[in-house]
């Protein structure tokens, strides 16, 4: 067992479990994984292969920062093209480029991605690898099992959590997805796109569209900001009265706020032209707040955008879709349930993501994983799997698996 010896008498010491203490990203065998000096790490950036995913884990600017800090960065050729970053910019920033994904996965001590590994990437997962990316494992039972079986140290951007409850690495993509959701509702309400033929903001003498938002967090507040700016009537439903008071103060326009209960949800969904699902329980599977019966009672041609779909979705009729085939219809209601919405605006999304993830990448690469965990409790909360142990309680509960914390007090 490894103990944190430097903590003061008034601060609880962290006692790490044996499996976690045994893990070291620097202890590797073979030429491709030669031992690195402390404070230096091989970081790999493969090209994203999820459907129409154009984001990249590191910008050339972030690569330059990591190189100056003493790290080596391996980038797959073409990884940044979708975000507007050609290979030459990565070379100029000090990256080493390789043509194949295998070169990146097998050569790196830490792989940074945007989205969860796809099935064809599972073969690269191993017990001396740090994986730093969005995971959303509560909705991914197969990937959860593969990560456990491989022993990979998997840190989910979406579960890194500060003491005040803020999710700093999820926030930027939540802002993007929230703003996009209002635009998507407006797009699919157009008759040409299968909708009711209703303008989101209306015009003088004609009622605007009714947009209902479930959840007043980062996604919901950003969706409301854009929808209100376009002139829609917006209803936000949330469990927190304090949050609703705050939103009522800071958002301006035709806004209604409601406490979350079955009746308020049913009544609001029934009159909605557009419904945005933005419910989040960090790391956990999203509860189904909108039943199939509620969807059936919606007006023909209305639109559902379930942003929560990457955690399972909050609408009973929601199922994951892709950018290449984003919508389907149930009971004459359009459903948009793309699991990687920000991938459609990669230039904005990649910069926003890097602003948040780079400081954490520097911590992990500079200190090594275990020392970084000892120094930063928010990073500990981000660990989903390590050494074959499932360290996320919400993920364990979602799949009926054993939860084993990384440390005890």
Residue 158 lies in a domain: no
Choose one of 344, 363, 396: the last residue of a domain: 344
Tokens read off for 386: 């390590």
Residue 340 lies in a domain: yes
- 132 near 353, Cβ under 8 Å? no
Whether residue 159 is contained in a domain is answered as no
* Pair 269, 216 in one domain: yes
Calculate the alpha carbon distances from 148 to 129, 138, 369, 381, 396 in Å.
12, 14, 18, 17, 11
Same-domain pairing of 133 and 225: no
- Residue 313 maps to a domain: yes
Of 103, 273, 306, 310, which is the active-site residue?
310
pLDDT attached to residue 284: 85
Dump pLDDT digits (tens) for 353-389: 999 999 999 999 999 999 999 999 999 999 999 999 9
Written as six digits, the tokens of 313 are 């979705």
Is position 161 within any domain?
no
Q: Which residue has the tokens 């790999």?
A: 44
Confidence class for position 282, pLDDT limits 50, 70, 90: confident
Sign of torsion over alpha carbons 283, 286, 287, 289: positive
Q: Is residue 194 part of a domain?
A: yes
Summarize the confidence of residues 7-18 as an average pLDDT: 34
Among the listed residues 136, 273, 306, 376, the single catalytic one is 136
Task: Output 408 or 225, whichever has higher pLDDT.
Answer: 225
Taking Cα atoms as reference points, which of 404, 379, 397 lies closest to residue 138?
A: 397
Does residue 334 sit in the same domain as residue 350? Answer: no
Q: Which residue ranges make up the annotated binding site? A: 55, 115, 174, 238, 243, 260, 279-280, 307-310, 319, 338-341
Q: Evaluate whether residue 248 is within a structural domain.
A: yes
Euclidean distance between CA atoms 100 and 12, whole angstroms? 46
**Residue 36: is its pLDDT beyond 50?**
no
Residue 136 designated active-site: yes
pLDDT 10s digits, 294-316 = 999 999 999 999 999 999 999 99
Section 335-364 average pLDDT:
97
Q: Are residues 55 and 193 in the same domain?
A: no
CB atoms within 10 A of CB 399: 17
pLDDT at residue 17 greater than cutoff 60: no
The answer on 338 and 264 residing in a single domain is yes
Residue 55 lies in a domain: yes
From CA 155, how far away is CA 138, in angstroms rounded?
14
CATH number at residue 146: 3.40.50.720
Domain match, 204 and 122 both: no
In the predicted structure, residue 345 carries a pLDDT above the cut 50: yes
Residues belonging to the binding site for substrate are 55, 115
- Of 326, 344, 362, the domain-final residue: 344
**pTM given for the model:** 0.87
Please check whether residues 228 and 332 belong to one and the same domain: yes
Do 340 and 364 lie in a common domain? no
Q: Which of 292, 317, 344 is the last residue of a domain?
A: 344
Q: What is the pLDDT of residue 283?
A: 82
Order of strands across the sheet with 327-330? 255-259, 233-238, 210-214, 274-277, 303-306, 333-336, 327-330
Q: Tell me, what's the pLDDT at 330?
A: 98
User: How confident is the model at residue 38, as a pLDDT?
Assistant: 55
User: Where is the binding site for NAD(+), in residues?
Assistant: 174, 238, 243, 260, 279-280, 307-310, 319, 338-341
Closest CA to 104 of 118, 116, 121, 83: 121
Both 199 and 332 in one domain: the answer is yes
What is the residue-wise DSSP string for 48-110?
A: P-STT----S--HHHHHHHHHTT-EEEEETTTTGGGT--HHHHHHTT-EEESSHHHHHHH-SE
> What is the average per-residue pLDDT within 240-257?
96
Q: How confident is the model at residue 408 (pLDDT cuts 50, 70, 90)?
A: low
Residues 184 and 318 in one domain: yes
Residues spanned by the domain of 73:
2-152+345-408
Q: Are residues 85 and 120 both part of a single domain?
A: yes
* pLDDT surpassing 60 at residue 88: yes
Number of domains in the chain: 2
Does 264 lie in the same domain as 175?
A: yes
């Amino acid at each position: 067992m490894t103990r944190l010896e430097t903590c003061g008498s008034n601060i609880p010491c962290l006692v790490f479990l044996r499996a976690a203490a045994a893990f070291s990203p620097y202890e590797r065998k073979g030429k491709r994984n030669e031992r690195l000096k402390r404070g230096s790490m091989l970081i790999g950036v493969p090209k994203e292969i999820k459907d129409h995913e154009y984001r990249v884990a590191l910008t050339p600017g972030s690569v330059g920062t990591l190189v100056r800090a003493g790290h080596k960065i391996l980038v797959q050729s073409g990884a940044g093209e979708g975000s507007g970053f050609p290979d030459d910019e990565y070379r100029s920033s000090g990256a080493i480029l390789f043509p194949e994904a295998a070169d990146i996965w097998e050569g790196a001590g830490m792989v940074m991605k945007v989205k969860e590994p796809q099935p064809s990437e599972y073969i690269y997962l191993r017990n001396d690898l740090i994986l730093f990316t969005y995971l959303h494992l509560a909705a991914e039972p197969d990937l959860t099992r593969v990560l456990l079986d491989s022993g990979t140290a998997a840190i989910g951007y979406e579960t890194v959590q500060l003491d005040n409850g803020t999710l700093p690495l999820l926030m930027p993509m939540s802002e993007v997805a929230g703003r996009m959701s209002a635009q998507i509702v407006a797009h699919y309400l157009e008759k040409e796109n299968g909708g009711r033929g209703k303008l989101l903001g209306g015009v003088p003498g004609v009622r605007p569209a009714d947009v209902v938002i479930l959840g007043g967090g980062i996604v919901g507040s950003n969706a409301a900001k854009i929808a209100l700016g376009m002139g829609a009537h917006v209803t936000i439903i949330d469990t927190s009265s304090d949050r609703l008071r705050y939103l009522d103060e800071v958002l301006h326009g035709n806004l209604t706020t409601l406490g979350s209960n079955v009746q308020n949800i049913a009544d609001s969904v029934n009159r909605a032209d557009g419904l945005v699902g933005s419910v989040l329980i960090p790391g956990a599977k999203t509860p189904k707040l909108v039943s199939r019966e509620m969807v059936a009672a919606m007006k023909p041609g209305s639109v559902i955008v379930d942003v929560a779909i990457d955690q399972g979705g909050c609408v009973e009729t929601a199922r994951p879709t892709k950018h290449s085939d984003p919508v389907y219809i149930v009971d004459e209601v359009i459903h948009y349930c793309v699991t990687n919405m920000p991938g459609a605006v990669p230039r904005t999304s990649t910069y926003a993501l890097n602003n948040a993830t780079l400081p954490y990448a520097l911590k992990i690469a500079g200190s090594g994983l275990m020392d970084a965990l000892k120094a930063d409790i928010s990073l500990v909360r981000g660990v989903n799997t390590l050494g074959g142990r499932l360290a996320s309680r919400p993920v364990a509960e979602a799949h009926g698996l054993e939860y084993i914390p990384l440390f005890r007090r």
